[in-house]
Amino acid sequence: MKQALYIAVFWAISLLLPASALRADDAVILTVDGKLAANHPVDFTRSQLEAMPMNTIVTTTPWHDGAITFEGVPLSALMKHVGATGNRAVVFALNNYSADIPVDEFDAYEPILALKRNGEYMPISDKGPLFVVYPFDQYPELKNELHYTRSVWQVRAISIE
Amino acid sequence: MRSSYWFRYLAVGVACALTLAAFVQWQIKDASEDAVARGLQFDLSWTGTNGRLEKTELEKFVAKYAVTGEQHYADQAQLFYQVLQSRLNTWDAGGFRVFLERSPGRIERFDELTALVRGLRDEFANLSDPKAQQTILDTLELASPLINRLGGEAHTESIAEAADVRERLQERHFLDNVLSVGLIAVSGLLLVAMTFLNHGLRQAHRRARDSADAFAHQARHDALTGLPNRFAFGEALKDAVGSAEIGQPMALFVIDLDGFKPINDALGHAAGDELLQSVAERIRRASSRWAPCCEVFRLGGDEFTVLLKDECASQKVFERANDLLAELRKPHRITAGNIIVDATIGIARSGRVMSGCDEIFVDADLALSRAKALGKGIALEYEPSMHAELRRRSEIEAALPLAIHNGEIFPHYQPQVDMISNRIVGVEALARWCHPNLGWISPVEFIPIAESSGRICEVGQLILTAACHDAMRLQADMRVSVNISVAQLMRYDVVDLVKEVLARTGLAPGRLKLEVTESIFMKDGDRIFATLRALKGIGVGISLDDFGTGYSALSYLQHFAWDELKIDRQFVKTLEAEEHSHHIVDAVASLAGRLGIPVTAEGIETREQHLMLRARGCKFGQGYLYGKPMTFDALNKVIQEDLRSCRDIPTYSVV
């Protein structure tokens, strides 16, 4: 079911695919489905996401040198926005990678779905367009394999179960 | 103490071990935390594998597009080109970069890989071109071994790091174990040490307590007999007196052994000790038969006490004392043989006039002294009169020095007559004391007190001086006899003193006779004889008084040229009644006669005695028949009368 969905979505998007990795502001970059208030998947464009309240996390990561400033939508806000009722969020990436995150963690640690890295939008070649960023420096207990796997980049969809 | 030495070493050892353990623990903690932290850095294997996968996906989509020409494949290909680039960018930073930099070969491969992939930009811009497609696939084929190698190394490294971490943790775990075991062992050791220490302490404590107990026992018990000692007696007495004051009766026996000293001297101290032990045992046994509350004490020497309480103290007290005496009189079996000693007991009871502790003991002691004076071997209970006696004795003793100084002591004179001519030939000076308060104090009373209080020499000197002085006022042929005590004779200057008195008064030495009793020879006989000889040497006469009483020894007659022998009055007294006295007087008179010593009989009271003694050869006589002891003035009158009349037997009753 999900695969079909993705194919459909990607196919829709691919019509607008330029050589550049940057999507146009009105292209859907995130689809949220599953146990939502609405009974259908919800799409978001970049501007729609940016319309929501944004948070900033400054942290070091294993994939970067030094501390990076990430700006994005707190996942807890996103869940509220879509009226999520499940307790598990499966995050899918463009490269077929996926990770399970308990919804509780969104409230506990306030990870964000980052849009900007050091003030610039992230292309696909730089882990964009969306990157799940945990405040690793703020909560050192997050510095383990589990949370590194949950720190998904090139996010395309989130399923609430 | 032995145990404290090894404990000290142990303590030091344990302290060192613990310090070492703490230090090691601290080091390990740092190191392992470091390792673990490193391990959490980055999952090289995963990212490496992902990179390979992403490349493969790219290849797939490009190939599919090339084969089918379907647009969605082209889109996917574009996407995965971006994804692959992203992957390479990821590899070029953070933990993966560090991994790459660990080997120059890796950096080379990575740079080559990156160049190959980046180089395909133009081709992807023209993806529909089959030539571009081919180029892409060829390039990707070149890139495959590179990316595979990197992925493989990443995996290996990942494994290696995991293994390293595991090893470190194992090491730490092992060391932790060692530390734990070590600590447990040390704890065990300490526990063992503590047990020993505790044991040692308890032993020491026990020893100390035993020692203290032994000392306490020693302090309160007599070593020889095992009986409680004077100290314990003092306390027990205080207790008993306290109880007596609230109505519980008590009684005290003070026991003295008769003749213990001679036995000790004769048989030696070992025998004496054995005897004391036997005596102690007997007293103890006897008293325990009466009641368990009776306590026996040894005060020291040959003095014992028994403290009786309750019924023992109120009934049959006297019987018990006599039973005890009977018991003690039985022969004692000691190494030297069988010994018999006698004992004297002084008794005092509560319920009689008493105030305070010491009083009851003093009372019993007084009773004891009195019992001894009465003849020993008896038990006597204290009577208040004994106290009066003691008081009087003290008074006399206290009054003596003043009396000597004030001239309260002076001689009375008793005439001595020639038995044949019946004339007064001499006088004996007898000490008299007229005390302003106490009245006349008999010499029988004050002379012993003077002797025991050391004043006898002064008294003796006083009487001697007075007698010589008075003698000068008598006729030239009258002689004066003065008693001299052993104390005076023991003085080194006695001869000089006598000479000095004679010189001062001007009396001719030949007119002075010094009377000694046999008891003076108890001590140092040789020295006494030498002194007597020296006195004779200056012309003074020496008489042996009270002959036949006390420690008579005929050898005394042999050793010395006596000037006079005085037969004791007791022989004269019984002359008429008993025949033996006759014989004794006979013998003495005859013996003295053969030795050329004149005999004086004392205590002549009847005419018959006078005649009988004269018949037996007594030369001189003294007694109430001729006159009682009288003052010098009275004496003078008597002598005048005697001179005037020449009666048969002069009898003067002049006071």
Binary contact (B86, A154; C-beta < 8 A): yes
Per-residue confidence (pLDDT) for residue B357, from 0 to 100: 60
Range scoring the smallest mean pLDDT among A36-50, B350-364, B477-491: B350-364
Contact predicate A154/A94, CB 8 Å? yes
A115-159 pLDDT tens trace = 999 999 999 989 989 999 999 999 988 988 888 889 999 999 999
Nearest CA in chain A to B80: A95
Nearest to B428 by CA among B654, B628, B135: B628
Cα–Cα distance for residue pair B559/B32, rounded to 1 Å: 118
The span from the first CA to the last CA of chain B, in angstroms, equals 88
For B652, counting Cβ atoms within 10 Å of its Cβ (0-12 exposed, 13-18 middle, 19+ buried), the class is buried
- The residue with greater pLDDT, A101 or B559, is A101
DSSP notation for B521-584: GGS-HHHHHHHHHHHHHTT-EEEEEEETSSS--HHHHHHS--SEEEE-HHHHHTTTT-HHHHHH
Of A14, A21, A64, the CB nearest to B75: A14
Q: Where residue B504 falls among pLDDT bands split at 50, 70, 90?
A: very high
Binary contact (B80, A95; C-beta < 8 A): yes
Cα–Cα distance for residue pair B608/B577, rounded to 1 Å: 12
Per-residue confidence (pLDDT) for residue A108, from 0 to 100: 93
Contact predicate B47/B96, CB 8 Å? yes
Binary contact (A154, B57; C-beta < 8 A): no
pLDDT at residue B263 is higher than 90: no
The SS3 assignment for B171 reads helix
Binary contact (A64, B50; C-beta < 8 A): no
- The residue with greater pLDDT, B389 or A76, is A76
Q: Which of residues 35-54 of A touch B (CB under 8 A)?
A: none
Does the beta carbon of A97 lie under 8 angstroms from any beta carbon of chain B? yes
B91-140 pLDDT tens trace = 998 888 888 998 888 899 999 999 999 999 998 898 888 898 999 999 99
Nearest to B348 by CA among B326, B371, B327: B371
Cα–Cα distance for residue pair A86/A158, rounded to 1 Å: 12
- Measured between beta carbons, the chain B residues lying within 8 angstroms of A65 are 93-94, 97
Q: Where residue A19 falls among pLDDT bands split at 50, 70, 90?
A: very low
Does the beta carbon of B184 lie under 8 angstroms from any beta carbon of chain A? no
Per-residue confidence (pLDDT) for residue A13, from 0 to 100: 56
Binary contact (B57, A95; C-beta < 8 A): yes
DSSP A155: E
- Measured between beta carbons, the chain B residues lying within 8 angstroms of A143 are 40
Range scoring the smallest mean pLDDT among B161-170, B214-223, B560-569: B161-170
B583-613 pLDDT tens trace = 888 888 888 888 889 999 999 998 988 988 8
Contact predicate B487/B456, CB 8 Å? yes
Contact predicate B512/B480, CB 8 Å? yes
Token duo for residue B502: 């004679």
B433-445 pLDDT tens trace = 999 888 898 888 8
What average pLDDT score do residues A38-64 get? 91
B353-393 pLDDT tens trace = 455 566 888 888 888 888 887 777 888 888 777 778 878 88
**Alpha helices, DSSP H, located in B119-129:** 121-125
**Alpha helices, DSSP H, located in chain A:** 2-14, 46-51, 75-82, 103-109, 145-150
Contact predicate A141/A147, CB 8 Å? no
Most confident range, picked from A65-79, B188-202, B216-230, B279-293: A65-79
pLDDT at residue B509 is higher than 60: yes
B13-69 pLDDT tens trace = 888 888 888 888 787 777 767 766 665 556 788 888 999 999 999 999 999 999 998
- Interface test with chain B among A17, A124, A149, by most B beta carbons within 10 Å: A124
What average pLDDT score do residues B558-582 get? 85
Residue with tokens 């009270």: B546
Q: Where residue B3 falls among pLDDT bands split at 50, 70, 90?
A: low
Residue A63 dihedral angles phi and psi, to the nearest 5°: -100, 0
Binary contact (A125, B97; C-beta < 8 A): no
Of B76, B94, B124, the CB nearest to A64: B94
Does the beta carbon of A16 lie under 8 angstroms from any beta carbon of chain B? no
Q: Is the pTM of this model over 0.80?
A: no
Per-residue confidence (pLDDT) for residue B363, from 0 to 100: 85
Binary contact (B95, A125; C-beta < 8 A): no
Per-residue confidence (pLDDT) for residue B654, from 0 to 100: 45
Nearest to B405 by CA among B438, B439, B373, B433: B433
For residue A23, give how far its alpha carbon lies from the nearest alpha carbon of chain B (Å).
11
Binary contact (A145, B40; C-beta < 8 A): yes
Residue B336 dihedral angles phi and psi, to the nearest 5°: -75, -10
pLDDT at residue B468 is higher than 70: yes
Per-residue confidence (pLDDT) for residue B354, from 0 to 100: 53
Q: Where residue B337 falls among pLDDT bands split at 50, 70, 90?
A: confident
Nearest CA in chain A to B78: A19
CA angle A38, A43, A49 (to 5 degrees): 110
Cα–Cα distance for residue pair B547/B569, rounded to 1 Å: 9
Q: Which of residues 273-302 of B touch A (CB under 8 A)?
A: none
DSSP notation for B6-37: HHHHHHHHHHHHHHHHHHHHHHHHHHHHHHHH
Most confident range, picked from B55-69, B244-258, B627-641: B55-69
The span from the first CA to the last CA of chain A, in angstroms, equals 14
Mean pLDDT, rounded, of chain B = 86
Q: Where residue B655 falls among pLDDT bands split at 50, 70, 90?
A: very low
Which parts of B455-536 are beta strand (E)?
479-483, 512-517
Per-residue confidence (pLDDT) for residue B647, from 0 to 100: 52
**Alpha helices, DSSP H, located in B296-383:** 311-314, 317-329, 357-374
The SS3 assignment for B645 reads coil
For residue B139, give how far its alpha carbon lies from the nearest alpha carbon of chain A (Å).
19
B214-250 pLDDT tens trace = 888 888 888 888 899 998 999 998 888 888 777 778 8
- Measured between beta carbons, the chain B residues lying within 8 angstroms of A7 are 72
The SS3 assignment for B290 reads helix
- Measured between beta carbons, the chain B residues lying within 8 angstroms of A137 are none
- The residue with greater pLDDT, A115 or B474, is A115
- Interface test with chain A among B57, B80, B83, by most A beta carbons within 10 Å: B83
Cα–Cα distance for residue pair A116/B352, rounded to 1 Å: 122
Of A63, A94, A145, the CB nearest to B90: A63
Of A11, A125, A148, the CB nearest to B89: A125
Per-residue confidence (pLDDT) for residue A49, from 0 to 100: 93
- Cis ω for the linkage preceding B331 (within 30 of 0): no
Binary contact (B40, A144; C-beta < 8 A): yes
Q: How many CB atoms lie within 10 A of CB B503?
A: 11
Nearest to A100 by CA among A86, A113, A83, A88: A88
Contact predicate B341/B258, CB 8 Å? yes
Cα–Cα distance for residue pair A104/B19, rounded to 1 Å: 46
- Measured between beta carbons, the chain B residues lying within 8 angstroms of A21 are 82
